[in-house]
Amino acid sequence: MARINASSTLSRFRVLDLSRVRAGPTCVRILADFGADVIRIEPPAGIDPNEAMFAADRTGGDFQNLNRNKRSMTLNLKKPEGLAVFKQLVASADVVVENWRPDVKSRLGVDYEALRAINPRIILASISGFGQDGPYADRPGFDQIIQGMGGLMSVTGFPGGGPLRAGLAVADCGTGIYAAVGVLLALIEREQSGVGQWVHSSLLHTQIALMDFQAARYLNDGDTPVQAGNDHPTSSPMGLFEGSDGAFNLGASGEGNWRRLCACLEMPQWLEDPRYATEKLRVANRASLNECLAQRFREHPVAHWVGLLNQAGVPAGPVYSIPQVFEDEQVRHLGVAQPVEDEAGHAYRLISQPVALTRTPARIARPAPGWGEHTREMLGEIGYAAADIERLYGEGVV
């Protein structure tokens, strides 16, 4: 098959994807969904002792969701001829994405300086746990390690409950998104300068950046964030409440929302209560205010309150299980779960890109590729004859 035309947005660019696990593939998925010609380069089976982590279950939902819209070729970069093939690919590529430990690139001879010597326009995106240099550069970095070191686990959970990880790969996914932004910025800058550059992103820096207002509170106000459970650390009333049949979230921060909430709940006396006169006082007296709200909310079911509050302009929403998420009418309207089918008839539902372009939208055009499915095709594209391709297979290069 020829290249996958998911979108025209990035269709003029070719990306060589050396990345594994989650952060790198998250970055490259964005580029692929917007039409870049992404070549996932994987070692032949049996070369990498960790291959079960990133390549074995090709039909699993996680692998499919991360690696759709890509082509796949196998290539053993530890063999001289495998490295030579890769360098031929670099000569006509726009972007290389990798998430090895920083020293691996140099040992293999595919660091930025080496790639730039082949193609001055190349953009290398390097994703790491801790950065490309510094005292922790050679440490392995997994998402939960970084959640702990980046402060997220210290503010997640209930007071006194001890550190708690978030229920998704915050650092991995966030780093992949930042890396994609970096690649796009480098591509835009290249239109002016004519040359590529090296884009770095790390899980540690990303996780700290994602701490956002929590980190800024400490750096600028000396206020050390702590666990606040389901309450917002600096706004009230804002958190989880119980209706007569379950839980829902309320976001009534700010004076306008506070007044609308009191009117909606027919509790004008709260506006006259000096304990709740300002946001700061409502935070200081959160326990008593939450108890007042809890008594009122127990009178009706969640659907009643969510409907009434939103009608009044006060943010509120139910707490869904994952199946309930995909049953929601707005989620269906947004087309979040997109169906796609492979050539063998296997059907998948994958998560669409959450950013919409009106003229050149992203699209899930094809499921994730089979292991090395496009190796012969790619070798043919860079000039290898059929006999040479068979020889490369025989020598374990591909």
Query: Residues with Cβ < 8 Å from 3, sequence gap 6 or more?
Result: 37, 71
SS3 265: coil
Q: What is the pLDDT of residue 55?
A: 64
Every domain range in the chain assigned CATH 3.40.50.10540 = 14-210+336-395
Every domain range in the chain assigned CATH 3.30.1540.10 = 238-321
Determine the length of the chain: 398
- Is 14-210+336-395 a domain of CATH 3.40.50.970? no
Give the global pTM.
0.94
Q: How far apart are CA 5 and CA 36, in angstroms?
A: 8
Per-position pLDDT tens, the chain of length 398: 578 889 999 999 999 999 999 999 999 999 999 999 999 999 998 877 777 766 667 888 999 999 999 999 999 999 999 999 999 999 999 999 999 999 999 999 999 999 999 999 999 999 999 999 999 999 999 999 999 999 999 999 999 999 999 999 999 999 999 999 999 999 999 999 999 999 999 999 999 999 999 999 999 999 999 999 999 999 999 999 999 999 999 999 999 999 999 999 999 999 999 999 999 999 999 999 999 999 999 999 999 999 999 999 999 999 999 999 999 999 999 999 999 998 888 899 999 999 999 999 999 999 999 999 999 999 999 999 999 999 999 999 99
Q: What is the pLDDT of residue 50?
A: 75
Q: Is the backbone peptide bond immediately before 163 cis, with ω within 30 degrees of 0?
A: no
**CATH superfamily, region 238-321:** formyl-coa transferase, domain 3 (3.30.1540.10)
User: Degrees (nearest 5) of the Cα angle 362, 91, 85?
Assistant: 100
Active site residues: 172
DSSP class of 68:
T
Q: What is the pLDDT of residue 47?
A: 79
Residue carrying the six token digits 């870049």: 36
Which element (helix H / strand E) includes 259?
Answer: helix 255-264
Q: How far apart are CA 369 and CA 372, in angstroms?
A: 8
DSSP for 116-139, written as a single string: HHH-TT-EEEEEESS-SSSTTTTS
DSSP class of 275:
G
